Structure 1
Amino acid sequence: MTLIAYSIAHFLTDAVCAGLIFSNPDMIPYILMYDLLAFSTQPITGIIADTLSRYRLFAIAGGILTSFGALFSLPIPIKICMIGIGNSLFHVGGGAAILKGSSSKASPLGIFVAPGSMGLLLGTLFPSITIYAAIALTVVSIILIWLKDYKSKKISEDMPIFKCDKKTVSFLVIAVILISISVRSIASYSVSFSWKDTIVLSLIAGFMVMTGKVAGGFVLDKFKAIPVVIASLLLPGPIIAFLSSYAVPSLLGQFLINISMPLTLYMLYRMIPDYPGFAFGLAASFLFPGMIIGLSINLNGLLILLIFVLNAILMYIAIKVMKKGNITI
């Protein structure tokens, strides 16, 4: 029940943020300000959440702050600050709560992160839902007050920690994971899909992104990391590189790419298991520069394919180094 509540709140939080921005033309110039507050602050928010170890309260506070930013009549800069900071608080609090309670499983993480993309899409396409979503978010946030902290039914032993004599190795593994997140973001945003010209096709694409993230957690739990790397980087690489102008293969490619999201989040968490809030926030913060770069450039087919292949190689190396350091994913 708690996982479902967090997932619904994630959907509503992103729907409110997108809907509020796109419901008022005067707010469009503030998109960069919102993105900076929502994404770039998450590592800081995560450290604070880890220090206080009150992840559920951070998620509740974020949900309520976001909904109030949409519901109350306030100056635009204040609204942007409220939804940006609220978004940061919710994502770090909710993400860390799920990571801590998942008993070494990635599937709950996939279930939690997936609805956000659909909420973002619906808020963008249908800004009129903002007020309703904000009211619903307030209700779900209040419900979270009475729900127990999330814990998976399956109890596992303590997770092994990464062991290596050289701290630089740990740093390099984390750096590779973060680079992979940014590169994936660049590849996703630098490709234009000419076929996505109707609301129906946009919704189908959003559904494929969402289901890919959900599937990613289950695939990782069932088949481990290397098959996920193959499925999410090597297989969709040629599709996105050379078939992006066709709807069906592009939709398949979008599904496959997003299988990797739970993997990178989970790998980062396993490297710093005592700091789930910081791990989740750090991953989110590296999406932002990738998005900015991806939107500002237009990559050709061969370069896109090269990015996917190099990304797969880097992830493979990181997984093998983690295994030598006592962490098998």
Structure 2
Amino acid sequence: MNKLYGSPARADRYQPTVLALGMGHGFSDAAAGYLVGGFSANTSFAELGGAIMLYNLLAFGGQLPAGIWLDRVGHYREAAIISLLSMAGAVGLLANDLIWPAVVLAGLSSAIYHIAGGAITLRSFPEKSRFVGIFSAFGVLGLALGGWSGTMHWAGVSYLLVSGLLILALIIVKARLPLSRPQLVVPEKPQLDRHDYLMILLLTAIAMRSAVWNMIQLLYAHQYDWLLYIALAAMAGKLIGGWLTDRIPWKLYTLLALGIAIPALGWGYRRLFWLMLGTGLLQSLTPVSVVALQRLFPNTPATVSGATFGLAIALGGLISSISLGSYFSLFTQLLLLGILTWCLYYSFWLAGHQQPT
């Protein structure tokens, strides 16, 4: 099998970098959760839904175009550092009651950090799902803890978040990174073909629709203990899923996990067990989906990160927030999801083929 970016003399020297990026992911998402959680205390359900939709649009929907841009620029370390500093600035805006500017800045900062951190992880450990799992696992737990602390108005949390973001930015300044530009390669035929990727992407978006809507309902109902259990299930799912998919066939595990996750999330609002099971299985697919698309587009790691970390959540959050079910039948909703998937996939494919040698 071809190595995507060459073999570093000692690949394990990048492990502390990935761990630091994962911790940064946790603090970044915790700051975003703290912001949205604090916003939910004194707002109506409609305003809360609008804030979450705006954050999803920027933080997740913005990842794919930002990833295309960052792959052309190539400064992944600088982007990760600036995004952590900007997230600290968003917390400062919240402290001065500038809620909506804070939401916008937090969404943009989150989008940049996801693609920059994901790109560094993919270039440090090509085709290794377990390291993608380490980078991504801390984010969902940080989001839940930050959201809980925001709604409870815990004193001193904002100082803790800002301090953590600044410290991790300094750590990433000194961290070991691969070369600034990846080596152009021609990928081998992947284990999944492109039709499989599209089908999995569409099914994931459908599952994410249920997951995001369940999270909004739980937050509005103040069931914060459920949110923490769900976050722990999601974190465990990413870590275990990354480890498993380095060792077993991808397609079998992906289809089996999605086949269980979709109905489990549909029943999740009634039983905590089903919500934890569905969320854990759904999140366990994050590492393998990142690595699978990396095999198709090995020269655009930030674009790959943006498509996999952001696309399904953006679709699920958008569709849940605007309540398409009130206007369209289930068949029409699935058709719209399919059209969106094809359009975004085409943009992604076009960007990958336009990457300069």
TM over 0.5: yes
Give the one of 62, 76, 80 matched to 1:55: 76
* Post-superposition CA distance 1:51-106 (Å, at most 9, x none): 12221221111111111221254844433332222111111100111111113211
Moved more, 28-37 or 83-92: 28-37
**Does residue 262 of the first structure (1) align with residue 287 of the second (2)?**
yes
Distance 1:245 1:286, change over 3 A: closer
**Does residue 292 of the first structure (1) align with residue 318 of the second (2)?**
yes
Distance, in Å, in 1 between the alignment partners of 2:263 and 2:100 is 43
Give the one of 175, 184, 206 matched to 1:147: 175
Distance, in Å, in 2 between the alignment partners of 1:41 and 1:162 is 29
1:132 corresponds in structure 2 to: 160
Specify every segment of 5 or more residues in structure 1 that has no aligned partner in the other structure, as ranges: 152-157, 312-329
Distance, in Å, in 1 between the alignment partners of 2:107 and 2:262 is 33
Deviation at 1:136, TM superposition (A): 0.7
Deviation at 1:126, TM superposition (A): 1.0
Give the one of 211, 231, 238 matched to 1:188: 211
Give the one of 247, 252, 262 matched to 2:272: 247
Q: What is the TM-score with the length of structure 2 in the denominator?
A: 0.71
1:20 corresponds in structure 2 to: 35
Aligned-partner SS, 1:126 = helix
Write out the 4+ residue segments of structure 1 that deviate beyond 6 Å after TM superposition: none
Distance, in Å, in 2 between the alignment partners of 1:76 and 1:241 is 32
2:7 corresponds in structure 1 to: none
Deviation at 1:298, TM superposition (A): 7.6
2:244 corresponds in structure 1 to: 219
**Mapping of 1:1-329 within 5 angstroms?**
1-24=16-39, 25=42, 28=48, 30-72=51-93, 73=96, 75-127=98-150, 128=154, 129-149=157-177, 161-162=187-188, 172=195, 175-190=198-213, 198-241=223-266, 245-283=270-308, 284-295=310-321, 296=323
Distance, in Å, in 2 between the alignment partners of 1:191 and 1:66 is 26
**Amino acid paired to 2:29:** D
Distance, in Å, in 1 between the alignment partners of 2:109 and 2:222 is 32
Deviation at 1:119, TM superposition (A): 1.1
Aligned-partner SS, 1:40 = coil
Distance, in Å, in 1 between the alignment partners of 2:318 and 2:287 is 22
2:203/2:258 contact within 8 Å kept: no
What is the count of residue pairs matched by the alignment?
292
Distance, in Å, in 2 between the alignment partners of 1:243 and 1:120 is 19
Aligned-partner SS, 2:245 = helix
Distance, in Å, in 2 between the alignment partners of 1:231 and 1:215 is 15
Distance, in Å, in 2 between the alignment partners of 1:197 and 1:243 is 16
Deviation at 1:160, TM superposition (A): 6.2
2:208/2:316 contact within 8 Å kept: yes
Distance, in Å, in 2 between the alignment partners of 1:243 and 1:177 is 21
Distance, in Å, in 1 between the alignment partners of 2:56 and 2:139 is 15
Aligned-partner SS, 1:268 = helix
Distance, in Å, in 2 between the alignment partners of 1:235 and 1:74 is 42
Distance 1:3 1:175, change over 3 A: same
Distance, in Å, in 1 between the alignment partners of 2:25 and 2:240 is 17
- State the superposition RMSD in angstroms: 3.4
Deviation at 1:237, TM superposition (A): 4.5
Deviation at 1:173, TM superposition (A): 5.5
Distance, in Å, in 1 between the alignment partners of 2:266 and 2:113 is 35
Distance, in Å, in 2 between the alignment partners of 1:15 and 1:241 is 27
**Amino acid paired to 2:38:** S
1:323 corresponds in structure 2 to: none
Specify every segment of 5 or more residues in structure 2 that has no aligned partner in the other structure, as ranges: 1-15, 339-357
Moved more, 25-34 or 138-147: 25-34
Deviation at 1:227, TM superposition (A): 3.5
Distance, in Å, in 1 between the alignment partners of 2:245 and 2:134 is 13
Distance, in Å, in 1 between the alignment partners of 2:31 and 2:268 is 33
**Amino acid paired to 1:48:** W
Distance, in Å, in 1 between the alignment partners of 2:228 and 2:294 is 31
